Amino acid sequence: MFKPHYIYNTLTDITPEFLSENGIEALLLDVDNTMSVAHANKTLRQGVPEWLSLMKENGLPLIILSNAKTKRAKLFADSVGLDVIGLAAKPLPFGYIRAARRLGVKRKNIAMVGDQIFTDVMGGRLAGVKTVLVTDITPEETSFFKIKRYFEQIMLKRWKNER
């Protein structure tokens, strides 16, 4: 339930070839630590604008799926020219299902890309989409996040040893 289908260092490592080889026709994108550099900082990670262009050139439908308030999520989405579903309440599956409907793509042919096992990945598993965990993230400041990250690191180590 928590294990991602794929693990990448960053969003921009995901290639059109990887997606087509794995039957992925559309992506749901997390914002904090996935597209942006940190949780509270909306600066885009290096290479993200170019990566978005590459995905668009390859005709890949993209939509942002964020737990942020609708207005804040919309503001960010507009800045990168993407459609968005805010207040997604990940890990609940409803936002994923709405996003899949809006994209008009079957859920098994969609992948969620995010940095959090207990949010992005778990929700993706519940909704029946594929999941890509990105692991190159800025350490979080709050203790709530630190606890979450602690458990994420343990699981990550185990999965890496399995390979």
Closest contact distance (angstroms) between CB of 104 and Mg ion is 25
Residue 26, token pair as written in the block:
């559309």
Residue 10 or 33 having the CB closest to Mg ion: 33
Question: Out of 29, 115, 122, 127, which residue is the one contacting Mg ion (CB under 5 A)?
Answer: 115
Closest contact distance (angstroms) between CB of 37 and Mg ion is 11
Closest contact distance (angstroms) between CB of 65 and Mg ion is 10
Q: Residue 152 interacts with Mg ion (CB under 5 A)? A: no
Residues constituting the chain: 163
Residue nearest to Mg ion (CB): 32
Chain-centre distance for alpha carbon 133: 7
Residues 46, 80: Cα–Cα separation, whole Å: 14
40 within 8 A of 138, measured Cβ to Cβ: no
Residue 98 or 149 having the CB closest to Mg ion: 149
Residue 83 or 140 having the CB closest to Mg ion: 140
Residues 10, 43: Cα–Cα separation, whole Å: 15
Question: Out of 11, 24, 28, 33, which residue is the one contacting Mg ion (CB under 5 A)?
Answer: 33
Distances (CA, A) of 131 to 1, 40, 81, 117: 11, 23, 23, 10
Residue 163, token pair as written in the block:
């390979």
Rule CB under 5 A: which residues touch Mg ion?
Answer: 30, 32-33, 115
